[in-house]
């Protein structure tokens, strides 16, 4: 069921079951981070491989030491500035954190979400929540309760409706090696914003077999329709003669007879609005019975890097 009643979600989570919850980034599939039963259900419902770690959501920075130890000074600095918000930190885990959460790694991903309903939920629970995105593994992330219902109507009982997600793409993930910051995933906070606070950040490459953090697999966030990312939309349209084509554009509409459906992410060229609209637009395109989706590559700066990251992974064929 879709509900705005937080008490139903509290009861469900206290029974070691899972709930789809809203955050400012995307909806998460949440369960008690200290319950093996709840954690196993998250992996089973999502069909998520056990080598892919989960993000732990806590209610405040004060709860961080129950999850992590030996926290670098720059991690504290980032947490104080960006939490609650779309920043996930990779830190050395507290022994209380299950190896299921961390995929057997000595580090844990943790953040404080910035959504009033979920913050109230966390404040009402005696445990933090492990919560990857509420979608089948590899599929387009959900940014509305309806997306969750379409995915999990038959497999989960409670979807907590917090409206459409404000940011629309996942959190930025920052880790540390020898106390030096590393970007593991582009997200709702641009790398430029991070570097303004702590200086230069190294960018980590993806690892499909043993990812250091959630959301690092090279193929991810994918519609069922084949998607192509390009700097030259007109040219690639011509290569799909007599195909049903959908377009995902930044701000300018393309006129062509072959186009069945077209999504403009921000007519004003606002990158934040484009990011907010990205997944909802991909969901709509994926429901149009198309042969192919052609996506325009974004300017490679700020949130454009995040949008390109998601589109590159969506377009990867294997």
Q: What are 96-121's pLDDT values in tens digits?
A: 999 999 999 999 999 999 999 999 99
CA distance 82 to 173: 12
**Together in a domain, 197 and 232:** no
**Together in a domain, 187 and 50:** yes
CA distance 106 to 53: 11
Q: What are 87-98's pLDDT values in tens digits?
A: 999 999 999 999
* C-alpha dist (Å) from residue 51 to 159, 164, 186: 26, 30, 20
129 in any annotated domain:
yes
Q: Which domain holds residue 52?
A: 2-203
Contacts of 132 (CB under 8 A, 6+ apart): 28, 29, 42, 46, 48, 52, 54, 55, 214
- Residue 257's pLDDT band, with cuts at 50, 70 and 90, is confident
**Closest to 109 measured CA to CA, from 133, 93, 127:** 93
222 in any annotated domain:
no
293 in any annotated domain:
yes
**Together in a domain, 149 and 273:** no
Q: What are 4-13's pLDDT values in tens digits?
A: 999 999 999 9
- In the chain, how many domains are there? 2
218 in any annotated domain:
no
**Together in a domain, 102 and 140:** yes
**Together in a domain, 183 and 235:** no
CA distance 177 to 252: 42
The CA-based angle 265-269-275, given to 5 degrees, is 45
Q: What is the pLDDT of residue 214?
A: 82
Name the one residue in this structure whose structure tokens are 């690639």. Answer: 236
CA torsion 63-66-67-69 (nearest 10°) is: 110
**Together in a domain, 187 and 279:** no
Structure tokens at 195: 């570097």
* C-alpha dist (Å) from residue 93 to 22, 98, 113, 220, 292: 25, 9, 19, 26, 43
**Together in a domain, 128 and 274:** no
221 in any annotated domain:
no
Please answer whether residues 312 and 261 qualify as being in contact, where contact means their C-beta atoms are separated by less than 8 angstroms: no
271 in any annotated domain:
yes
Q: At residue 56, does pLDDT exceed 90?
A: yes
Q: At residue 275, does pLDDT exceed 70?
A: yes
Kindly give the pairing relationship between strand 292-296 and strand 245-249: parallel
Q: What is the pLDDT of residue 205?
A: 74
- Final residue belonging to a domain, choices 203, 219, 249: 203
Q: What is the pLDDT of residue 213?
A: 78
Question: How many helices (H) and strands (E) in the chain?
Answer: 10, 16
Give this prediction's pTM.
Answer: 0.95
**Together in a domain, 136 and 280:** no
**Together in a domain, 242 and 166:** no
**Together in a domain, 270 and 189:** no
**Domain of residue 8, CATH code:** 3.90.870.10
CA distance 45 to 43: 6
Q: At residue 206, does pLDDT exceed 80?
A: no
Residues above pLDDT 70, as percent of the chain: 98
The predicted model gives 142-154 an average pLDDT of 96
- Final residue belonging to a domain, choices 171, 203, 235: 203
- Final residue belonging to a domain, choices 168, 203, 238: 203
- Residue 81's pLDDT band, with cuts at 50, 70 and 90, is very high
**Together in a domain, 161 and 245:** no
**Together in a domain, 245 and 191:** no
219 in any annotated domain:
no
Neighbour order of strands in the sheet with 245-249 = 227-230, 292-296, 245-249, 259-264
Q: What is the pLDDT of residue 318?
A: 54
**Domain of residue 236, CATH code:** 3.40.50.11030
278 in any annotated domain:
yes
């Amino acid at each position: 069921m879709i509900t705005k009643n937080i008490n139903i979600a509290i009861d469900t989570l206290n029974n070691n079951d899972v709930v789809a919850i809203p955050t400012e980034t995307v909806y998460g599939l949440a369960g008690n981070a200290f319950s093996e039963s709840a954690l196993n259900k998250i992996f089973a419902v999502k069909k998520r491989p056990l080598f892919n770690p989960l993000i732990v959501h806590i209610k405040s920075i004060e709860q961080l030491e129950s999850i992590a130890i030996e926290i670098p000074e720059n991690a504290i600095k980032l947490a104080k500035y960006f939490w609650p918000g779309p920043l996930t930190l990779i830190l050395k885990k507290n022994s209380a954190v299950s190896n299921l959460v961390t995929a057997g790694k000595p580090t844990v991903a943790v953040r404080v979400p910035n959504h009033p309903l979920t913050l109230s939920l966390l404040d009402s629970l005696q445990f933090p929540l492990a919560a990857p995105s509420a979608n089948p593994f590899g599929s387009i992330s959900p940014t509305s309760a309806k997306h969750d219902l379409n995915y999990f109507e038959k497999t989960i009982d409670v979807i907590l409706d917090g409206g459409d997600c404000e940011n629309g793409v996942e959190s930025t993930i920052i880790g540390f090696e020898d106390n030096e910051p590393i970007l593991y995933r582009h997200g709702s906070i641009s790398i430029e914003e991070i570097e303004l606070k702590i200086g230069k950040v190294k960018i980590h490459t993806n690892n499909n077999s043993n990812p250091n953090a959630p959301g690092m697999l090279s193929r991810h966030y994918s519609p069922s329709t084949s998607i192509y990312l390009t700097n030259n939309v007109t040219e690639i349209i011509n290569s799909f003669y007599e195909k049903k084509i959908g377009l995902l554009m930044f701000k300018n509409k393309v006129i062509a007879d072959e186009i069945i459906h077209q999504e403009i992410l921000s007519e004003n060229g606002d990158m934040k609005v484009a990011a907010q609209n990205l997944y909802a637009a991909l969901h709509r395109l994926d429901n149009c019975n198309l042969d192919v989706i052609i996506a325009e590559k974004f300017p490679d700066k700020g949130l454009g890097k995040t949008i390109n990251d998601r589109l590159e992974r969506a377009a990867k064929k294997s």
